[in-house]
Structure 1
Amino acid sequence: MLKLNTKRLDILALNEENLKLCINDFEKFEKNIGLSCSEKNIEDKDRNVFLIRLKDVVKNNEKYMWYTTWIIISKNENKYIGHLMIKGYPNENGEVLIGYVIRKEYRRQGYMEEVLKCIIEWIFLNNDVKSVIADTVKSNIPSQNLLKKLGMTLYKEDEECFWWRLDKL
């Protein structure tokens, strides 16, 4: 599995085996990769998203890291604190869509900023990438502020969401 690191975090791209384990038995998954048990399971809505990611990973096993869930691990606690998704290899316009979630008790501590800076840097290493795209529900002001802080600009909206873009320099 591909692993990226920041000062406080490990960011791990789940391969097919570990993504299945994560979906089916989260505690077993944590033990399998050597984490301290978080005593929490992934939520049903996250499990459904992980199942979508799994279908894409199975179809794109060689480039799984572009289709999977990436687990965010606190180095200090050796615990799962959130995850992000890269939702596919760059499309014909060079765009890559990302999404992210962090557990409530870890919010507003700069973790997601750290994760997004790291993953965007990794994404931009690929020559096929021209832009990173993220969406936020209109009510999620902290996430919107984070994306602005990262240099993303609002470029469209729909009924539910604002859409943000960061172009490769």
Structure 2
Amino acid sequence: MRIPQRLETDRLIIRRYTEDDLKQLHQFLNNKEVIGLTDMPSNTSQEETEAFLRMLIDSYTTEKPVAAMAICLKESGKVIGSCGFAAVDFSNDTQIYYALDPEYRNNGFATEAMDKLIEYMILVLDIDRICIYCHPENIASMNLAKRIGMQWQTGVQKKDSDSHYFLLTRENYLSGNKV
């Protein structure tokens, strides 16, 4: 998969992580409100965050890059979240994911970032099936999945916990019939 250098929306820049993101990423990964219902690493030491960031950056030039990117405010460049995508081990789907700093929630930033990421995945990467897995208590993410045109499929067991599974197909996206 090709990881974009940079994607832009009206208010956001979605870009690859850089070494300059260490401080903000460390704060982000140690905020339980941010990563509590995600698969992201938590309670990392400075050294662990640095190793994680180095792994992400190094992966961008490999055949199997980690598609994790910073969500930044266009006006200031401030990192307010993280997003990305990954192949799903047990299906032909590609999962998208995001996490946003609580200070920037309820402003449409996650929807804006996910819309742009989906556009890239379908129009540039030709991905056929994009999914989101949401923890049953994560109502905001389930609502976001619906807003970006995904349809609820089923409840599934993922990493030893229950999840809700939402799907958007390329066919539905291109036809404009997202829901």
TM over 0.5: yes
User: Structure 1 59/39 Cα, relative in aligned 2: closer, same or farther at 3 Å?
Assistant: closer
User: Structure 1 57/162 Cα, relative in aligned 2: closer, same or farther at 3 Å?
Assistant: farther
Deviation of the 1:165 alpha carbon: 0.4
Please name the residue that 1:51 is paired with. 52
Determine if the alignment matches structure 1 residue 114 to structure 2 residue 112: yes
Cα contact 1:26–1:42 (8 A) shared by 2: no
Instruction: Determine helix, strand or coil for the equivalent of 2:27.
Output: coil
Residue type of the alignment partner of 2:12: L
1:75-154 to structure 2, matched below 5 A, reads 75-88=74-87, 94-126=92-124, 128-154=126-152
Residue of structure 2 aligned with 1:10, choices 10, 13, 22: 13
User: Structure 1 124/12 Cα, relative in aligned 2: closer, same or farther at 3 Å?
Assistant: same
Instruction: Judge which range, 54-63 or 100-109, deviates more.
Output: 54-63
User: Structure 1 126/78 Cα, relative in aligned 2: closer, same or farther at 3 Å?
Assistant: closer
Q: Distance in 1 between matches of 2:60 and 2:7?
A: 23
Q: Distance in 1 between matches of 2:25 and 2:130?
A: 33
Deviation of the 1:77 alpha carbon: 2.7
1:19-58 to structure 2, matched below 5 A, reads 21=19, 26-27=22-23, 41-44=27-30, 45=41, 51=52, 54=55, 58=59
Q: Distance in 2 between matches of 1:39 and 1:96?
A: 24
Deviation of the 1:54 alpha carbon: 3.2
Q: Distance in 2 between matches of 1:161 and 1:56?
A: 29
TM-score, scaled relative to structure 2: 0.69
Q: Distance in 2 between matches of 1:40 and 1:52?
A: 9
Q: How many residues align?
A: 149
CA RMSD of aligned residues (A): 3.4
Deviation of the 1:40 alpha carbon: 6.8
User: Structure 1 126/94 Cα, relative in aligned 2: closer, same or farther at 3 Å?
Assistant: farther
Instruction: Determine helix, strand or coil for the equivalent of 2:28.
Output: coil
Gaps of 5+ in 1: 28-37
Task: Tell me the alpha carbon deviations over residues 3-56 of structure 1, each in whole angstroms, 9 at most, x when there is no partner.
Answer: 000000000033xxx3xx37xx713xxxxxxxxxx6972324356799399379
Task: Tell me the alpha carbon deviations over residues 128-162 of structure 1, each in whole angstroms, 9 at most, x when there is no partner.
Answer: 51111111110111111111111101112125210
Instruction: Determine helix, strand or coil for the equivalent of 1:69.
Output: strand
User: Structure 1 82/39 Cα, relative in aligned 2: closer, same or farther at 3 Å?
Assistant: closer
TM-score, scaled relative to structure 1: 0.72
Cα contact 1:94–1:128 (8 A) shared by 2: no
Q: Distance in 2 between matches of 1:109 and 1:58?
A: 31
